[in-house]
Amino acid sequence: MDLDHSPGVAAFRAEARAWLHEHVPDVPLPSLETQEGFAAHREWEAQLHAARWSAVSWPEEYGGRGADIERWLVFEEEYWAAGAPGRVSQNGISLLAPTLFDHATPGQRARVLPSMASGEVIWAQAWSEPESGSDLASLRSRAERTEGGWLLSGQKTWSSRAAFADRAFGIFRSDPGAAKPHQGLTYLMFDLRAPGVTVRPIGRLDGKPAFAELFLDRVFVPDEDVIGEPGQGWRIAMSATGNERGLTLRSPGRFLAAAGRLAALWREQGDPADTALRDRVADAVVGARAYELFTWAGATRFAAGGEIGAESSLNKVFWSQYDIALHETALDLLGPDAELAQGPWAEPWVFSLAGPIYAGTNEIQRDIIAERLLGLPKGRR
């Protein structure tokens, strides 16, 4: 891909930059992991949607701009460089929406996507279960057939955004007699306020409920909320994991902006004699650029008809470790009280600590890299 963008892409960048300059709040919104902050971020999603910036890569009929991957990456650069709020709708837009585009019916897309783009409905991811995280195929939550739909029972945990979200998506065991654990699973969407659903927030290191556990007691889900064919949930879920680990969850624009702020912080407060810390700042800036170029290389392959594939595991290991290193460098630069401060670095640092765990642990990703990319023999399980 030619990184000297065409006039059309340059105009797209200029339009995005101008809109963000005019609309990004002067005062940062409250944390989206609080009731107040969640509501404020939902209103921000509505503003984005009104100007068709909430899901730029979607078709126009669902509220997007039909932007290609080059324009999407450009928008992400501008979004994070402008200091815009974190995206409370990310689970829906980045994880569920690609699944719907690939596997849902036209009626499901027309029913679900517009309210997702506007922030009217915020989605939680409900995949992990107690004793079933990275080994997702061992999940035990059930979907039992009933008239007109399914009854969901079981427990999900570490569900991102579930403390305040409206709906959730996940896979359930619909055929307990299937020959293999990853067979007989069905992908469903369900209402977090439906009878039989109990949401119990899980406090993060800073006490904010960034996750929740869900208890499901014969929760009715109509047939219209099954994605794809019953029993094919594993295949559908695996098509979503590449998006989660690869391009969509952590765009390079996010890290370029953070690395830029870190370099500015060093210029303001850094001790020139502390060469070790200076080198860590330099590593953070170089790392952001390296991740940017790696992403553009992947985007070029994707735009040419290729797939994200197992290379997404390389992405996931890199950005999850890089995110922690970048924020720890900032905290070390700010001093011993920085972890307790309510500034722009403490909460992102707390969030970064979960990176090596969610979206498939880094241990699992290293197994994938070893076996599928390097051709090494399978390790002991």
Q: Which residues are known to be catalytic?
A: 244
DSSP string, 178-203: -SSTTSSEEEEEEETTSTTEEEEEE-
Q: What does each C-alpha distance from 13 to 8, 66, 77, 81 come to in angstroms?
A: 9, 15, 9, 12
The enclosing H or E element of 216 equals strand 211-222
Tokens of 13: 């960048």
Tokens of 292: 């940017």
Tell me whether residue 56 is exposed, middle or buried, using C-beta atoms within 10 angstroms of its C-beta: 0 to 12, 13 to 18, 19 or more: buried
* CA-based nearest residue to 55, from 119, 149, 11: 119
248: number of CA atoms within 13 Å, CB side? 23
Give 172's DSSP letter.
E
* CA-based nearest residue to 187, from 123, 133, 232: 232
| 3-class DSSP assignment, residue 123 | strand
**213 vs 216: CA distance, rounded Å:** 10
Q: What does each C-alpha distance from 233 to 191, 246, 324 come to in angstroms?
A: 18, 20, 33
